[in-house]
Amino acid sequence: MGFVDRLNRAFLRRLRARLPKYTVEPDAIRVTSPDGRDHRLCFTELTNAAVHHRDLYAYDAIILTLGFANGETVEFAQDDANWESLINALDHSGRIDEPSHIWQLRAIGDGDGDGASIRHLPIR
């Protein structure tokens, strides 16, 4: 590994250490800030959900953005470690009025890369 690669990895490690960490629970997302404080974003307080394609240089990803009643918004990409548990928890909660296998396929077919339209998902 070259010097630039090592420098990039160190920079990204430091950047990620300052970002909140998300844990998916059966009925909520637990947000833990870098200073150790945490709070829950309950699916019962979900006010909006949107999905779109994002160009990540080497590949495209499906991005799911969730908005909650307290004004907080969180974003997950399909390559996040907790994507599957999030999708399963959302399907189980019944808050999004469309099964995940449907809206994921539609997101893939909606366009290519960053020019793709944002698709708002129906909330119950």
Spatial contact of 53 and 61, defined as CB atoms under 8 Å apart: yes
Report the pLDDT averaged over residues 24-51: 94
Report the pLDDT averaged over residues 108-124: 72
Look at the pTM and tell me if it is higher than 0.75. yes
Report the pLDDT averaged over residues 3-16: 67
| pLDDT tens per residue across span 65-88 | 999 999 999 999 888 889 999 999
Torsion of CA 110, 84, 123, 94, to 10 degrees: 130
Beta strand 38-42 pairing with 46-55: unpaired
